[in-house]
Amino acid sequence: MPDWLVKNQPYSPPPDKDQFINKSILSILRILSKLKSQSGYQMDKFQVNAALKVAFTFLLVILLSLSTSYTFILVVDVYLLVVLSLMEGKEIVKILSVSLAMAIFTFMILLPNVVLGNTYTSMMITLKVLSTLIAVNILSHSTRWHSITSALRRFGVPNIFILVLDITIKYISMLGDFSLNMLYSLKLRSVGRNNNKYASMAGISGTMFIKSKEMAEDMYAAMECRGFTGEYTVHNKWKWSMADLLYILKTVAIITAFLYWGRI
């Protein structure tokens, strides 16, 4: 046996920074956790029909946009906080963190307008953004995705719009898993100093593009084999419950509050 095979040859690779890969992995994990947590609901919360929740959220956004009254916006905020208090702690933190961050960002954008003396309009826009985001996030965290697409079809939303939304959500999750595995592989195979990090990331981007193209072709072939014509059909029948009736009464109360305080 040659002598060089039995000799110890210690190798100490030079240290290198891989913060970019770590940050990319963490950002993808955050996105995937949000998607999978929303799609993992076993049942819709509050036992209210998804069509009613979608219609009310859309109506609430319109009323908030039309309102010029602090009183109505505060009434809506109190209602949203009551609904939030009925949800789990993790969901409350997620909803409030995203909503408050966007509201603060909106206020910072409008800060020059506040300095010029137009405080009322700036505060109104900031509060409207906060209320709208909380309402939409409550809908997202309390309703399964396929229930939302079913509700959209009930309201006559075009099939192509629902198809794009549905496929986009699923593809983000699938491509996110694939890109996460590629980043893990890149991290494990990077020994020592890598002076071509951008070349490695360009290779990952190119591979992701080719993989997405192959997945799109496979999905089209699978849909064609199964006879999918691009039409979404709602098979479940509408069953009224006490929760639905209470939800309708609450919607009437919000509309009444808008008619009474919305323009004051």
Over the stretch 79-125, which tens digit does the pLDDT of each residue have?
999 988 888 888 888 888 888 988 999 889 888 888 888 888 888 89
Does residue 16 lie in a domain region?
no
Residues 85 and 167 in one domain: no
User: Does residue 62 form part of some domain?
Assistant: yes
Q: What's the confidence (pLDDT) of residue 67?
A: 87
What is the average per-residue pLDDT within 31-47? 60
What residues have CB less than 8 Å from 200, skipping those under 6 apart?
A: 186, 190, 194
Residues 6+ apart with CB under 8 A from 41: 143, 144
83 and 57 in a single domain? The answer is yes
* Contact between 182 and 207 (Cβ < 8 Å): yes
Q: Are residues 212 and 81 in the same domain?
A: no
Same domain? 123 vs 58: yes
Same-domain pairing of 83 and 206: no
Domain count, the chain: 2
For residue 145, being part of any structural domain is answered with yes
Residue 169's domain spans which residues? 158-189+199-225
pLDDT level of residue 14 (50, 70, 90 thresholds): low
Report yes or no on 97 lying in a domain: yes
Question: Does some domain include residue 165?
Answer: yes
> Are residues 176 and 121 both part of a single domain?
no
Q: What tens digit of pLDDT does each residue of 164-189 get? A: 877 877 777 777 777 777 777 777 77
Q: Which of 19-23, 59-63, 175-179 has the lowest mean pLDDT?
A: 19-23
- What pLDDT, on a 0 to 100 scale, did the predictor assign at position 192? 61
For residue 194, the model assigns a pLDDT of 63
Q: Would you say residue 35 lies in a domain?
A: no
254 and 218 in a single domain? The answer is: no
pLDDT bin (cut points 50, 70, 90) of residue 16 is low
pTM of the model: 0.71
In a domain, 100, yes or no: yes
Confidence of residue 42 (pLDDT cuts 50, 70, 90): very low
Together in a domain, 220 and 248: no
Model pLDDT for residues 219-244, shown as the tens digit of each residue = 888 888 888 777 777 766 667 778 88
Residues 207 and 121 in one domain: no
| Judgement on whether residues 168 and 116 belong to the same structural domain of the protein | no
User: Which alpha helices (H) appear in 67-158, and where do they start and end?
Assistant: 70-85, 89-109, 111-115, 119-142, 145-154
Q: Is residue 26 part of a domain?
A: no
Question: In angstroms, rounded to a whole number, what is the distance separating the alpha carbons of residues 76 and 208?
Answer: 44
Q: Are residues 146 and 263 in the same domain?
A: yes
Question: Given 3-state DSSP classes, what are the helix, strand and coil percentages for the chain, each rounded to the nearest 5?
Answer: 75, 0, 25
Q: To the nearest whole number, what is the mean pLDDT of the chain?
A: 79
Q: Are residues 68 and 166 in the same domain?
A: no
